[in-house]
Structure 1
Amino acid sequence: MSGPSSHPGIKLLLLGATGLVGSHVLELALASSAVGKVIAPTRKPLPLYLANRSKLVNMLIDFDAPDRDDPLWHVDAVICALGTTIKQAGSHEAFRQVDYEYPLTLARLARTHGATVFALTSATGADPSSRFFYNRVKGDLEEALVREQFTSLTLVRPGVIGGARTEVRPAETALKLALTLFAPILPRRWQLNPAAEIAKHLLEATLSAPQGVKIVTAGEMTGKR
């Protein structure tokens, strides 16, 4: 079965377009001749200065109650970069809502309306059996997406994501600095994963649409190709 890459001008649903990784995916997708339309549901409008904005449909959405009958869910492929932190969310329950419930709900909507390809920004250590809540939620989402039986499902598992965020995360900033200083002696799997590099892998996986389930590890996304 041929993937979306054999049909120029695919219709792509991008979840998390306002985030660090998602914003990079958005720029790449709008610049790609293989992507004909980008559907980007967000709570607030995206910036007006985006290049090739004519390819963008920025639908404002209530993630707790999406319009299940909206024709915009008719897409070929989905890239999910939705995510938060437990600190930002305010509780374990709120974190799971953003990092599990929202992505799965929208994945099912897209799947029901014909999407066959899905690429997810997950995390190193994602495991439904993990003793760490964060990794357990990521693993639960991966398992749930496998059960949706997308023709092509790519699970991108970065470690520490490099890039400038709009919000301040002191602990993450300190860790990024340490990883940058010691990068020459660290194994690839422990090095920073630039947000732009993660975005490239997500879009490449979406356009090439490898059959079955594929995992992209942190070691493959250090930016050293």
Structure 2
Amino acid sequence: MILGATGAVGSQVLDQARKDRRFETIVAPTRRSLAAPGKVHNPVIPFDLPLPQANWWAVDAVICCLGTTLRQAGSKPAFYRVDHDLVLACAEQARAAGARVFVLNSALGANPMSRNFYLRTKGEVESAVARMGFERVVLARPSLIDAKREDNRPAEKLGLMASRLLAPVIPKRYRPVSAEAIAATLLRELTGGCGVITLESEQII
């Protein structure tokens, strides 16, 4: 299952997964219909709480790329509802239906004790998912995501421009990471040993 399949990273995960022979069926619930023929099952749902009960939650593994921004959400409570409540509700549905693996696209600096609201939210989600009983949990923490986006994010664009110019002197952990590289890493991390694995930005290649 791919959650957030219309986003910058999620769309890359979907594109790469469709070409991967390891996957028999890909479930990608979205708010709007995807142009994704073949082995992609695309339930179109409101994607809000409460989530619908459906048999398509029964998957082996989940890659979660759900997320918004404070600007898009309009308020901290609205942001928290998406990046925390909705993510955890999806994880709970999939786990109850038998999913064994959960791979989360989180953020550099995620920490439930952070004073930064965004990073604290991401950290709280990481901690909650890690306690849900999945056999394997992977927490990927990319730095700035280098990708073409449909929405306008001026601050992010400025950050990416500065990071590209200063890349030779910026530590690898803080350099922008392409959406393609993140997607490839998330898909690769679906398999491996049991436990909770954290991937910092420099490990996303």
Q: Which TM bucket (shorter chain)?
A: over 0.9
Aligned to 1:191: 175
Per the TM alignment, residue 168 of structure 1 is displaced from its structure 2 partner at its CA by 1.1
Would you say 1:79 and 2:102 are equivalent positions?
A: no
Deviations 1:77-104 (A, max 9, x none): 0000000101110000000011011110
Give the one of 15, 30, 44 matched to 2:18: 30
Per the TM alignment, residue 62 of structure 1 is displaced from its structure 2 partner at its CA by 2.3
CA contact (8 A) 1:16 1:22 kept: yes
Q: For structure 1, list consecutive stretches of 5 or more residues without a partner in the other structure.
A: 1-12
Q: For structure 2, list consecutive stretches of 5 or more residues without a partner in the other structure.
A: none
Per the TM alignment, residue 190 of structure 1 is displaced from its structure 2 partner at its CA by 1.3
Would you say 1:16 and 2:4 are equivalent positions?
A: yes
Aligned to 2:121: 137
Once residues 104 and 164 of structure 1 are traced to their aligned partners in structure 2, the CA distance between those partners, rounded to angstroms, is: 27
Deviations 1:161-183 (A, max 9, x none): 00111111111001100101111
Give the one of 150, 155, 166 matched to 1:171: 155
- Provide runs of 4+ in structure 1 moved above 6 Å: none
Per the TM alignment, residue 40 of structure 1 is displaced from its structure 2 partner at its CA by 0.5
Q: Which amino acid aligns with 1:186?
A: I
Aligned to 1:9: none
Q: Which amino acid aligns with 1:198?
A: I
Per the TM alignment, residue 209 of structure 1 is displaced from its structure 2 partner at its CA by 3.4
TM-score when scaled to structure 1? 0.88
Q: Which amino acid aligns with 1:24?
A: Q
Once residues 126 and 133 of structure 2 are traced to their aligned partners in structure 1, the CA distance between those partners, rounded to angstroms, is: 12
CA contact (8 A) 1:111 1:150 kept: yes
Would you say 1:42 and 2:25 are equivalent positions?
A: no
Once residues 84 and 210 of structure 1 are traced to their aligned partners in structure 2, the CA distance between those partners, rounded to angstroms, is: 30
CA contact (8 A) 1:21 1:81 kept: yes
Deviations 1:98-127 (A, max 9, x none): 101111001111100100000000011111
Give the one of 188, 191, 198 matched to 1:215: 198
CA contact (8 A) 1:36 1:55 kept: yes
Once residues 23 and 193 of structure 2 are traced to their aligned partners in structure 1, the CA distance between those partners, rounded to angstroms, is: 17
Aligned to 1:66: 51
Once residues 175 and 210 of structure 1 are traced to their aligned partners in structure 2, the CA distance between those partners, rounded to angstroms, is: 36
Q: Which amino acid aligns with 1:59?
A: P
Aligned to 2:93: 109
Deviations 1:49-72 (A, max 9, x none): x4xx2100110112223222x110
User: Helix, strand or coil for the counterpart of 1:36?
Assistant: coil
Q: Which amino acid aligns with 2:133?
A: Q
Equivalenced residue count is 204
Report the aligned-residue RMSD: 0.9
Aligned to 1:97: 81
Quote the sequence identity (%): 42
Aligned to 2:39: 55
CA contact (8 A) 1:117 1:209 kept: no
Q: Which amino acid aligns with 1:184?
A: P
TM-score when scaled to structure 2? 0.97
